[in-house]
Amino acid sequence: MLVFSAIVPHSPLLIPEVGKDNTEKLNATVASLKTLEGYLYAAQPDTVIVLTAAPDTEQLSFVLNFAPTFHGSFAEFGHFNEKPAYRGDNGLSYRIKERLETRFPVKLTTVEELDYSILVPLHYLLAHKKSIKVIPVSAANRAPADQVAFGQGVAEEIIETTERVAVIASAETSHKLSKVSPAGFEPGAKRFDQKIVKLISEKNIAELLKLQAEDLAKYGIDELNAILLFLGILSEQCCTASILSHEAPFGIGHLVMEFEL
């Protein structure tokens, strides 16, 4: 059963030892993530599924990371001391694959080293309960409607399992919100970003699917597939969105949104 769901950002700057003074500029996001950690802890999940966007255009399959254990570090960002470790959930991973492999291209992988798009959310959300199992799931580079349909298939398995499951979408919104953005500034991006956030909060999948790929690229919406995958999982759930914070001090939209079940 599904017991918790949220969308969170994954900037390495959220890690104080990495961001240093820059982390203070993300205080609202950090506070929201800490609040969210309390909600997740109270929900007592056995497993958390972490959804990310496809890493490149070559990934045409949905990927479930089937590794029995996971580890990682922030060494690439100059922080060598923190080396988190987590357990995988082989059983649920395999059942999801079995359920969906005749409908979608699905690949199981066993990559034990997690990258920052998963490590940053887990750093906060599993801060006091690292025993919760983790299943990383990556979206495929396919049509937006396929992300939703795959998510709906994942939801079928979540409904049937006796495990208590949390679902997290690790994604940021527009990457072109100001002149300090590494991707550059695009006039109109803020308004488009606000539209995206509103549609997400309403679970308005139909309107999200109508968005043009050219506009998404123009306004720097690079990770919508992960959010569509997330909304697919929630499409039949009765839930209410709550925006804990939404800020962009570095020109990238950092959204923390819980869907209360």
The enclosing domain of 127 has a CATH number of 3.40.830.10
Query: How many other C-beta atoms can be found within 10 angstroms of the C-beta atom of residue 83?
Result: 11
213 falls within a domain: no
CB distance 93 to 108 below 8 Å: yes
Q: What does the pLDDT read at residue 57?
A: 84
137 falls within a domain: yes
- Whether the pLDDT of residue 94 is over 90: the answer is yes
CB distance 174 to 189 below 8 Å: yes
58 falls within a domain: yes
215 falls within a domain: no
Q: Which helix (H) or strand (E) holds 172?
A: none
What mean pLDDT is predicted for residues 1-22?
97
CA distance 127 to 82: 12
CA distance 40 to 241: 15
Tokens, residue 69: 């254990």
187 falls within a domain: no
pLDDT digits (tens, 9 = 90+) for 45-54: 999 999 999 9
207 falls within a domain: no
192 falls within a domain: no
- Residue 89: give the domain boundaries: 2-175+222-260
pTM above 0.85, yes or no: yes
22 falls within a domain: yes
Q: How many domains, the chain?
A: 1
Q: Look at residues 214, 222, 219, 213 and name the one whose alpha carbon lies nearest to residue 195.
A: 219
Phi and psi at residue 45, to the nearest 5°: -75, 150
Q: Give the strand order in the sheet containing 106-109.
A: 106-109, 62-65, 133-138, 47-52, 165-170, 2-8, 254-260, 240-247
CA angle centred on 167, ends 165 and 170, rounded to 5°: 155
Residue 21: exposed, middle, or buried by beta-carbon count in 10 A (0-12, 13-18, 19+)?
A: exposed
pLDDT digits (tens, 9 = 90+) for 166-185: 999 999 999 999 999 999 99
Sign for the pseudo-dihedral over CA of 32, 33, 36, 38: negative
pLDDT band at 69 (very low <50, low <70, confident <90, very high): very high
